[in-house]
Structure 1
Amino acid sequence: MAILFFAAVPGAFAGTRKDIAAELQAAQQALAAGDYPKAYARYSRHSASNPLAQFTLGLFHKNGWGRPVDEVAACRWFEKSAQKKIPAAQHYLGDCLVKGTHRAADSAAALGWYREAAAGGHLISLCSAADLYIKGQGVDKDVKQGLELCTQVAQANSPPAMLKLANYYREVTDVPQDLAAARYWYHQAAERHVHEAQYRLGVMLTEGQGGEPDANTALFWLETAAGEGYAPAYLPVAILYANAEVDPKTGALKPEHLAKIYLWNSAAKARTAAPAQLAEIDRIEKMVLAVMPESWRPDLDRKVAEHLVKYGNK
């Protein structure tokens, strides 16, 4: 909700922040209750002079809260709010100018807004500025400067910046690949509950990218992400369990591992559309059903269904 943005920029409204937030209390209560028509009307009452109201109206249009998404209208509200020093609005205005949403694209102006947003406490804006330096978009290309900007934010304990920095080092064409650095920053973000980082770290550990392979730690991170509904991790978890060491006494997979293969493979089947992955899922399913007791299926199917309902299309 919008109130979370306000809390994320301490000191950004020196002297006036308390007053401009206080007059929006009724609007924020309606928004928190999910009453979008009432909330929109109440924010609109204050939109002529209250920059937080302007910013939140932008969020309504950006996120489609109770109305169709309208990026142009969102950008216009963000611009009004940005001009009155709301850091999150300044960041979003930068995005609007990079894309050319409500006016001609202007990456140089966007860079200025990102820097102003960061100066007001919205530090992740430096990583958006980093994109422009790395691409040479609206500014002379300077990969080193771009990496330094985003590294500042990551070192300030920002999980999104950690993830972005790892992605730079792993896959961005303009940045010299450094898989060890990517693995380090994925690990930092993974420890801070970023599901994509947990997944990508797990893949790197599985394949030995950026360091020695470590199947056990890979499984830990992949299953952590999968357990919280991160669908891309489902199939890799099933595969790791399928490749686990067999029980030396029986020469077969341990029962708990067999059950995990079925659970995560079934979850992957429900969330996957890619033909190659579906073929692998089908192969694993046939392997499991050939050895798993039929009596296990009702309970395991129930657990899969409960998980999928809980996490939806995450």
Structure 2
Amino acid sequence: MPPFHMVPSALLTLLIAALPANAQDSSASPEPAAQTTPDAAALPDMAVIEQAWARRDYVFVREGLRQLAEQTGTPLAQFRYGRVLLEGRGGPRDIAGAVLWLDRAVAQNHIEAATLLARVLLSADIPDQPRDPERAAALLNRAAARGDAEAQYYLGLLARSGQGMAPDPEAAFTWFLAAAEQGNIAAQYAVAQAYARGEGTKPDPTEGLRWLEEAAGQGHIEAQFSLAQAYDTGQGAAANAQAALRWYRRAAEAGLPLAQRILGTRYLTGKDVTVDATEALRWLTAAAEAGDPGAMFNLGQSYATGAVLPQDDALAFQWYESAADTGLPRAQAVLGQFYEIGRSVPREMDRAIALYRQAAEAGEPAAMQQLGRLAASGALDGKLAPQRAVPWAAAAAAAGNAEAQDWLSARAEDGTHGAAGALGQLLIDTPERQAEALALITRAAEAGDVPAQALLGQAYASGDHGLAQDYVAAHTWLNLAGGAGDGAAAATRDVIAALMTPEQIAEAQTAARALYAGIAAQVPQTEQTVVRP
């Protein structure tokens, strides 16, 4: 069964801000009259301190626990005082003091103190408190062996990751399962993942789904989202569109931006729900304001098209810009179009080109095609050296832009680096132009074009594109491409070398050296001095 989706979490960084707030027992008897400080003449009763905690009088709690910890030395008071200091309740955080009192409680075998101290020692974000995974593991091991579910869960994390101990997937699974059976929802999710992936146990889709449902039902957000994904895709559970929608909604209402984006997008598109502009806007805005780039982009698209939400170029631009600022390539490409044509903003061609380039360098096809179109129109002349535009023109030509193909042909004629190879690769699958394509690719390979060398080597190795199979020629070209860093070419070269005689290999190596010398002797083509956007 494919692994359940896991939303990234910071479980092992253990930020102090994320520590549970219930430092005291929440079971409190009716409140007494309000007190502000404990009576110095008599020690406060723990029940009174718990009542003060319930009414959030943390100053009273802190002072009362200090007195109990110092004067009675009971491990419960020491643990609770250490936790209050750690959380900064009733006064400033005091990490050193917290560690001191937790240590004292641990010395008296207080289980919860051992677990909390271990979490402190695992945190990477506590000033002046060095991490100590080894001691943390020892503390957790003691508490886990005595049945503390939280300790069992964290010990499972350490065993899985190999922090403070050797990695041990089987032990990790055992500790996760022990904690899960005690109701620890994070451990239940970990068990579900382990069954799904076969980590530390045999894969078991049925058990994986059972534990995933258990964690999701208890409010584990990542489990809710994973369960939605399982029902949505039919991977890990029988496909059930309505069940998927219910779990997406639960995760969205719990604040998960990705679930909010999916839910909002469904209300835009009408997938498994009735199209609803209000709900779409509600959930997409929540996800976008939480920083989800996809939600920002979807809002931009919705306002740009006016298909469900009202058409509004200014709002479309705002959301596209927000998404582009996160580095989302497809948003950068669309924002480039806004600047190119002056849609809702003043026309800025240099800004448009810069955005297209950002997106193209991240591999966005639409941006590469836009740049190829601009190159063919002459809009990049004087701004970029022609060889920089070759891959963009090739992308545009492959998408059917005839002007881009003509531009590529002209650049191949004037010797622009990479143009002949790109044009050859574009034409190689057109039977009536195959000979022309091979001539262009060969010319490019002889000029040092690595993709052309790799393509030519692969064609000779397999006898494709009208070439007769020739291991010597294949080894020659693959050797050159592999030496230039093409890993796939090097791997194929090594495969065919096993099929060649030593004499053939020597012949290919001699040919490769001669070609390399010829390539090295050529005057390299450098970029012209250009005005960059």
After TM superposition, the score normalised by the length of structure 1 is: 0.71
User: What code does the residue aligned with 2:121 have?
Assistant: H
1:265 aligns with 2:320: yes
Question: What amino acid maps onto 2:96 in structure 1?
Answer: P
Would you say the 8 A contact 1:61–1:69 is kept in 2? yes
CA separation of 1:5 and 1:30: change in aligned 2, threshold 3 A? closer
Pair 1:277–1:55, CA change in 2 (3 A) = farther
Shift of 1:142: 1.2
Residues 1:164 and 1:10: Cα distance change in structure 2 (over 3 Å)? farther
Q: Provide the residue aligned with 1:306 in structure 2.
A: none
Q: Kindly provide the CA deviation profile for residues 45-80 of structure 1, in whole angstroms up to 9, marking residues without a partner as x.
A: 333322222222222233322245555554443333
Alignment partner of 1:85 is 2:139 = no
Q: Is the Cα–Cα contact under 8 Å of residues 215 and 240 in structure 1 kept in the other structure?
A: no
Does structure 2 retain, via aligned residues, the 8 Å contact 1:180–1:209? no
CA 1:269–1:6: 2 relative to 1, 3 Å: same
Query: Which residue is equivalent to 1:184?
Result: 246
Aligned partners of 1:172 and 1:268: how far apart in 2?
31
1:201 aligns with 263
The aligned residue for residue 121 of structure 2 is: 61
**Corresponding residue to 1:50 among 101, 110, 114:** 110
Call closer, same or farther: CA 1:210–1:112 in 2, change over 3 Å: farther
Q: Relative CO higher for 1 or 2, CA cutoff 8 Å, sep ≥ 6?
A: 1
1:146 Cα deviation (Å)? Answer: 0.6
Question: What one-letter code is carried by the residue in structure 1 that aligns with 2:173?
Answer: L
The answer to whether the 8 Å contact 2:121/2:133 transfers is: yes
Report 1:1-314 matches (<5 A). 1=17, 4=20, 21-33=76-88, 34-48=93-107, 49-64=109-124, 65-66=126-127, 67=129, 71-170=133-232, 180-206=242-268, 216-245=278-307, 253=311, 257-270=312-325, 272-284=326-338, 287-290=343-346
Q: Look up the equivalent residue of 1:46 and give its one-letter code.
A: A
Q: Which residue of structure 2 lines up, in the alignment, with residue 302 of structure 1?
A: none
1:279, distance to aligned residue in structure 2 (A): 2.5
Residue in 1 that maps onto 2:475: none
SS at match of 2:185: coil
Partner secondary structure for residue 287 of structure 1: coil
- Is the 1:166–1:182 Cα contact (8 Å) retained in structure 2? yes
Contact 1:124 1:160 (C-alpha < 8 Å) held by counterparts:
no
Tell me if structure 2 keeps the 8 A contact 1:238–1:260: yes
Per the TM alignment, residue 117 of structure 1 is displaced from its structure 2 partner at its CA by 1.4
Give the counterpart letter for 2:94 in structure 1: D
Instruction: Work out whether residues 9 and 121 of structure 1, in 8 Å CA contact, stay in contact via their aligned partners in 2.
Output: no
Cα separation, 2, equivalents of 1:24 and 1:7: 9
Contact residue 21 and residue 52 of structure 1 kept, 8 A: no
Q: Distance in 1 between matches of 2:25 and 2:195?
A: 24
Equivalent AA in structure 2 for residue 120 of structure 1: Q
Identity %: 26
Report the RMSD for the aligned CA atoms in angstroms: 3.7
**TM-score, structure 2 length as denominator?**
0.45
Structure 1 residues 179 and 151: CA distance shift in structure 2, 3 A: same
Distance 2:273 2:308 in 1: 26
Q: Residue 105 of structure 1: SS of its match in structure 2?
A: coil
Does structure 2 retain, via aligned residues, the 8 Å contact 1:204–1:210?
Answer: yes
Question: In 1, Cα distance between the equivalents of 2:257 and 2:229?
Answer: 14
Number of residues paired by the alignment?
A: 277
Correspondence for 1:295:
none
Q: Secondary structure of the residue that 2:201 maps to in structure 1? A: coil
Point out where structure 2 has 5 or more consecutive residues left out of the alignment.
Answer: 1-16, 28-49, 51-73, 348-533
Contact residue 9 and residue 120 of structure 1 kept, 8 A: no
Residue deviations 1:160-191, cap 9 Å, x none?
A: 42123224445696666655543331112212
Where 1:23 maps in the other structure, the secondary structure is: helix
